[in-house]
Amino acid sequence: MMSSSFNIYRVGISFVMMCIFYKSAVDSLSELSPQKYFSTLQPGKASLAYFCQADSPRTSIFLEELNEAVKPLQDFGISVAKVNCVKEETSRYCGKEKDLMKVYLFRGNILLREFPTDTLFDVNAIIAHVLFALLFNEVKYITTLEDLQNIENSLKGKANIAFSYVRAIGTPEHRAVMEAAFVYGTTYQFVLTTEIALLESIGTEAIENAHFYFFHCKQVLDLTQQCRRTLMEQPLATLNIHRFIKTMEAPLLTEVAEDPQQVSTVHLQLGLPLVFIVSQQATHEADRRTAEWVAWRLLGKAGVLLLLRDSLEVDIPQHANVVFRRAEEGAPVEFLVLHDTELIISRVEGNTHIEEMQEDEDEDMQSPDMDIQDDEVAETVYRHRKTQLPLELTVELTEETFNATVVASDSIVLFYAGWQAVSMAFLQSYIDLAIKLKGTSTLLLTRVNCADWSDLCTKQNVTEFPVVKMYKEGKHPVSYAGMLGTEDLLKFILLNRISCPVNITSVQEAEEYLSGELYKDLVPYSSVSVLGLFSPNMTIAKEDFTKAGNYLRGFVITGIYSEEDVLILSNKYGATLPALLLARHKEGKVESIPFANSRVQDIVQIVTNALLETFPEITVENLPVYLRLQKPLLILFSDGSINPQYTKAILTLVKEKHLDSLTPCWLNLKNTPAGRGILQTYFNALPPLPLIVVVNLHSGGQVFAFPSEQAITEQNLLLWLKKLEAGLESPITILPAQEWKPPLPAYDFLSMMDAAASQHPTRKEPECTKETNMQKNDKQQHEDKRSLLLFF
Amino acid sequence: MSLLAAAGLWGPPGLLLTFALHPALCLRPAPTSGPPHRDYCVLGAGPAGLQMAYFLQRAGRDYAVFERAPRPGSFFTRYPRHRKLISINKRHTGKANAEFNLRHDWNSLLSHDPRLLFRHYSSAYFPDAGDMVRYLDDFADRLGLHVLYNTTIAHVTLNKDRQAWNGHYFLLTDQMGHAHRCSVLLVATGLSVPNQVDFPGSEYTEGYESVSVDPKDFEGQNVLILGRGNSAFETAENILGVTNFIHMLSRSRVRLSWATHYVGDLRAINNGLLDTYQLKSLDGLLESDLTDLAIVKDREGKFRVTLKFFLEEGNQSTDAITLPQDDNDNFAMRVAYDRVIRCLGWNFDFSIFDKSLRLSSGGEFSKKYPLVKASYESKGSRGLFVLGTASHSVDYRKSAGGFIHGFRYTARAVHRLLEHRHHGVAWPSTEHPVSQLTSSIVRRINEASGLYQMFGVLADVVLLKENATAFEYLEELPVQMLAQLETITGRRARHGLFVINMEYGRNFSGPDKDVFFHDRSVGHTEDAWQSNFLHPVIYYYRHLPTEQEVRFRPADWALPRPTAIHHIVEDFLTDWTAPVGHILPLRRFLENCLDTDLRSFYAGHTDLDLTPTTVPVFPAISRPPMGKA
């Protein structure tokens, strides 16, 4: 997620570059007469002018370089011109013949500097010199250690220093420094030297063309203390300096208490890895000190964060004390156990190292990563493998006991495989369920380990794991198709306590049923109670409804009423027989739906649709149901419960059928913290709430955001939706379509086998030779029968 | 199905019933004309014949088994001569999984009845042959298999008929001259003819089939045994302690099954003579081609070994025949033998098959087996299948197809082929969403006995559906028939496939290999391809290989070159369920072949109660519903 925004950033950079190239062809040097030139000069604006004779050659190396500098200088707000001096004109800048080759830098119409053209030997030199002249105050040029110390002392507690050494003025490195100074010159004190001795005296080893240091002076309060220094290790180039300064600006150490996978800092955007030092309350102080030390060591190379395990919402492996996350998109979070801080440093530096030498190191580095479990279910199961589950709360069935048990008592059976992670994770939920139901249920909770009783499972038509089936009253078993969790399974079991549909025998009972009184304890698990109303003679319709009820068992309460006095009910609720009454308990409403001529499938569909709310609160559990509608989601993100006015606005829109092509819903971040991650994906940072987005998950993946400055009102929303429909809105982001790629590569055994085959065409050569020798012996034996038996 | 099975026994009314129920049978002409007809005729009520009968019976097919003896398994009433079966009968594995336990039960036939497991018939690790006879008897009886005993098929011919399933019927004539007509002929007659090598003096030898098994008869004798197989060593073992010495002579060096991992080679249970030979006890092994030899009887009635070459020099009297020691006085076999015993194995009985069947011998390795395709169908006539020991040419010296623990699976494979060919029943398969792929494979490699026993011959196949969102799982397909998969199974393989095979390491085994060398075991997942012991290998093909590709595959490859291959590292316990060592690399392999993510996820990252989900985790992650719906 973070790295995707990094990509965008990079795209941005290259876009700028392209513009430069593109423009440079167009923005050629303007040629003016001296008079014209001076009339164009604006106060405060810098301008570079090359004065030459009108009849001088139209091309020269210098002119080419100058031409190239036009665009970059324009980017810094500096205009460039070639001024043609006509002979009779006597501008003092036109000079005499021998001084023809001069370039002048003006601010407004004040001359700042004049350059002989040989100083400006190429485009880098032009830009470096011009900026150096303009930034005279911002960039201090020094030659001695004393100069440096003076500046350092004067800035302690005030500002940080960007100190650079370049071999000479006008080099590409010098240009890079000057360009950086142009941007950051007011924030940091830039100091420049070309004295190698100065560099040696501050202890730089292996001096190269250029070096860039960041002196952390701002936080130094004790004047006797030296400023910390961080050396930029990348080559001196504009982009590298920019990145380096960005990391210097970032907080040294951040404390977080969220999923390392979700955390985002400037480092990731800059392509640097993140190192999380795992801490807990008890050792927080010490951990913080360690983390700070590590952070200083890794400054400019990685982001360092302190991860507070206690307040963490996700599980991290018990012994892991360091979490490592590479900047590459999709790279898994690595949980490490490192007992020495040096190992953290070397891991980061080692990792940077691979990027450069990928080809050589690939093989060695690949394997440890691939062995890291990146399946979260498998990982937690493995981590808890030694935890003893109270399995005795459920009955273990075998091939011998299975049939007798499910015949003798109503049973719920979990078919699982002991070696399968999802099975074992679900087994834990199943045990939790057993604890919840202990002593309250007549249902026997049982389990079959299909790793042991493979044939039994096959006979029960179980060929994948885990599977839950309910065996009741010797009837055909019902398979559970809900989410693999305690709550949903509990709902399934509880709703299965009553028959489906339940037979209602009197009007009064029907009323109790509709009001939720009859099954008070079950109503919390079924937001809707369905009652089928039939005349006693509607046998086929009743049969179909019964089948539909059977199909829906465990998901919703259904009932059937077909006594002679059914008309009392149908009249009361304004229904024509046969009819479905839907009692929505939360809203206390009963609605009726006619369903003449509907078959089983249709009835199931009607009820399923009725279970959907018009403006539901989305949770992890109910999301799949709404996604199944295959429509773009209109989600209102809310931090806490929703403002009733927003609900009203949206419900009005629904009512007026403006939202038919969408699935409107809202999400409460308090109930569903996972929503934060979503918002971060959409916006890169948490935007202020409430907030409305339209997400087109099923085609395109575009995400549109309702302008946050607008009030969430019916009119505004409608207008926005109309614009959306008309294609006038642009998405804030597009979710990548193909996200479910292999997280890591696999071993390429085919290549390994090929390599082995080509390197050692006969790996067991001695043996092969032996065989041939033996064959030869055989031949000899045939040829010389006389001597044959002598060998024995 | 039970109705149909009963129909076969009850006669005409049943026939009508089958007629009505099976459109495929409409091809059958009216039952009034010609000899009695069967869709399937099985020759021989040995283990393979009974195994096939069981599958035909369960499928409700019209079949009969013809057996010349009054009871099943007549071979085992006499053989092995010393009564000890060398198929292991492991009654305990510490596991309840019945399918897994068949990996270590080499004697049971496949059936749905757990009482028909061999462990209920013998407690010996190497059981007595009498128990096998009893077992086969029970197997036929309890399952009500339709066997015509005391019926010796003396002659089999082919009768062309365009209406027949295969364009011809098989006509079987029994010893009474009664004819039987069959659409499909399943030959499970085993190897019943003792192998004889013709050389001068071969008349002096006694055969394994008739030699005394009473050690007393060998007291103080010099014995020469011809042959180097398990029967030769079994014979030697029996008399090792009473003879002066035993010499064993054969053409090639001894092949130890623990070095070749081929159960037909010399088993350790019989190899006592190797031990005494190497411990200088006068017993010994010699190598020579028997056809170069001659045996002459000397004046004392003892046997002398000489060369055929010498006999050809002229018609001298017995005493005058040159002996090798005349020239070379240290000739190894210069001693006189009291007995020469021939233990040279067995051949298939080709004699009853008419030439029109073109059932020829001359398989790649040996003339003792009839020539069949990888589908066990004769190369000469369509509709004639060879089962059991006689079908071993397919995997001779490679896998277990010549033995009960192997051919019980190949019989099932043949049955499945026939079900599709003649009854439109596609090869059984289960269909799953792709999220179950890793689990499906892990389950099979850990429990499947057919893959384990018939390694390299039968393999599981995963057929991917479009876009690899789902797959079909087919078990135990004859892997050399891979190119013809669509025609023989009735399943479609249009979107790529995986083949799950079990393999030993390439250079690991062989008669002259040291299989106990240091560092032989591989433990690291990245070295899995160098595994030596039997381990699962998964091949991925983007397209079904062609026949050409199967036939001209690289010499040491079990299958044509795949798009990608994965070895699951060998495991000392043959338990490939280690989460990181076995399952994780497998998942990565499958993921990379399918270019997808096969991990399981919890619903939302905040549920700490271990709730795996199957559904898109959240809109931020546009996961297609991968898990169980």
The CA-based angle B30-B34-B36, given to 5 degrees, is: 80
Which CA distances in Å does A247 have to A289, A302, A354, A356?
20, 8, 21, 21
Per-residue pLDDT reduced to its tens digit, A185-212? 888 999 999 888 888 888 777 777 788 9
Peptide bond into A273 cis (omega under 30): no
Residues 515-544 of chain B with CB under 8 A from chain A are 525-526, 528-529
ipTM of the shown complex: 0.85
The per-residue pLDDT for B316 is 58
Pick from B197, B186, B229, B551: nearest CA to B390:
B186
3-state secondary structure of A526: coil
User: Cβ contacts of residue B489 below 8 Å, gap of 6+?
Assistant: B416, B420, B426, B427, B474, B477
* Mean pLDDT score, A160-171: 90
**pLDDT greater than 70 at residue A260:** yes
Nearest to B507 among A481, A673, A764 (CB): A764
Query: Which chain A residue lies closest to B513 (C-alpha atoms)?
Result: A767
**A569 and A533 Cβ atoms separated by less than 8 Å:** yes
**A230 and A249 Cβ atoms separated by less than 8 Å:** no
The per-residue pLDDT for A772 is 34
* Mean predicted lDDT score pLDDT of chain A: 80
**B179 and B35 Cβ atoms separated by less than 8 Å:** yes
User: What would the DSSP string read from start to end of A93-157?
Assistant: TT--GGG-SEEEEEETTEEEEEEETTT--SHHHHHHHHHHHHTTTTEEE--SHHHHHHHHHHHTT
The per-residue pLDDT for A792 is 27
Which CA distances in Å does A586 have to A532, A590, A622, A648, B511?
20, 11, 17, 17, 79
Residue A307, min C-alpha distance to chain B (Å): 16
Residue A265 pLDDT level (bands cut at 50, 70, 90): confident
**A329 and A4 Cβ atoms separated by less than 8 Å:** yes
User: Between A415 and A607, where is the model more confident?
Assistant: A415
Mutate to test the interface with B, among A402, A403, A464 (most CBs of B within 10 A): A464
**A133 and A112 Cβ atoms separated by less than 8 Å:** yes
Residue A154 pLDDT level (bands cut at 50, 70, 90): confident
The Cα B629–Cα B621 span in angstroms is: 17
Give pLDDT < 50 ranges for chain B. 1-31, 605-629
Q: Is A705 on the interface with B (CB under 8 A)?
A: no
Which CA distances in Å does B76 have to B43, B46, B83, B350?
17, 9, 8, 21
The per-residue pLDDT for A88 is 63
The Cα B455–Cα B449 span in angstroms is: 10
Residue A271 pLDDT level (bands cut at 50, 70, 90): confident
Q: Is A426 on the interface with B (CB under 8 A)?
A: yes
Lowest mean pLDDT among A159-168, A218-227, A703-712: A218-227
Question: Which of chain B's residues have a Cβ under 8 Å away from the Cβ of A421?
Answer: 579, 583, 600
Question: Which of chain A's residues have a Cβ under 8 Å away from the Cβ of B593?
Answer: 746
Q: Is A755 on the interface with B (CB under 8 A)?
A: no
The per-residue pLDDT for A137 is 82
C-alpha dihedral sign at B390, B395, B399, B405: negative
The Cα A482–Cα A554 span in angstroms is: 9
The per-residue pLDDT for A218 is 86
SS3 content of chain A, % helix, strand, coil (to 5): 40, 20, 40
Question: Which of chain A's residues have a Cβ under 8 Å away from the Cβ of B567?
Answer: 749
The CA-based angle B161-B165-B169, given to 5 degrees, is: 45
The percentage of chain A sitting over the pLDDT mark of 90, rounded to a whole number, equals: 10
* Mean pLDDT score, A502-531: 88
Residues 728-747 of chain A with CB under 8 A from chain B are 735-737, 739-747
Q: Is B507 on the interface with A (CB under 8 A)?
A: yes
The per-residue pLDDT for A99 is 53
Query: Which chain B residue lies closest to A676 (C-alpha atoms)?
Result: B620
* Mean pLDDT score, A521-537: 87
The per-residue pLDDT for A351 is 57
Q: Is A479 on the interface with B (CB under 8 A)?
A: no
Tell me the count of A-B CB pairs closer than 8 A.
250
Residue A90 pLDDT level (bands cut at 50, 70, 90): low
* Mean pLDDT score, A418-429: 90
Q: What is the pTM of this model?
A: 0.69
User: What would the DSSP string read from start to end of B148-202?
Assistant: ETT--EEEEEEEE-TTSTTSEEEEEEETTS-EEEEEEEEE-----EEP----TTG
Q: Which two tokens stand for residue B137?
A: 């008897």
User: What would the DSSP string read from start to end of A311-341?
Assistant: T-SS---TT--EEEE-SSTTPPPEEE--SSH
Per-residue pLDDT reduced to its tens digit, A243-252? 888 888 888 8
The per-residue pLDDT for A26 is 44
Question: Which of chain A's residues have a Cβ under 8 Å away from the Cβ of B605?
Answer: 259, 261-262, 313-314, 674, 677
The amino acid present at A48, given as its one-letter code, is: L
Nearest to A377 among B332, B529, B600 (CB): B600
The per-residue pLDDT for B318 is 60
Residue A398, min C-alpha distance to chain B (Å): 9
**Interface contact flag, A378 B579, Cβ < 8 Å:** yes
The Cα A743–Cα A754 span in angstroms is: 25
* Mean pLDDT score, A39-64: 78
The per-residue pLDDT for A205 is 76
Q: Is A624 on the interface with B (CB under 8 A)?
A: yes
Q: Is B98 on the interface with A (CB under 8 A)?
A: yes
Q: Is A32 on the interface with B (CB under 8 A)?
A: no
Q: Is A401 on the interface with B (CB under 8 A)?
A: no
Residue A676, min C-alpha distance to chain B (Å): 10
User: Between A123 and A93, where is the model more confident?
Assistant: A123
| Strand B535-541 relative to strand B564-567, pairing | antiparallel
**Interface contact flag, B580 A382, Cβ < 8 Å:** yes
CA A357 centroid distance within chain = 27
The CA-based angle A276-A281-A284, given to 5 degrees, is: 60
The per-residue pLDDT for B18 is 40
Angle A358-370/A341-356 helices, nearest 10 degrees?
130
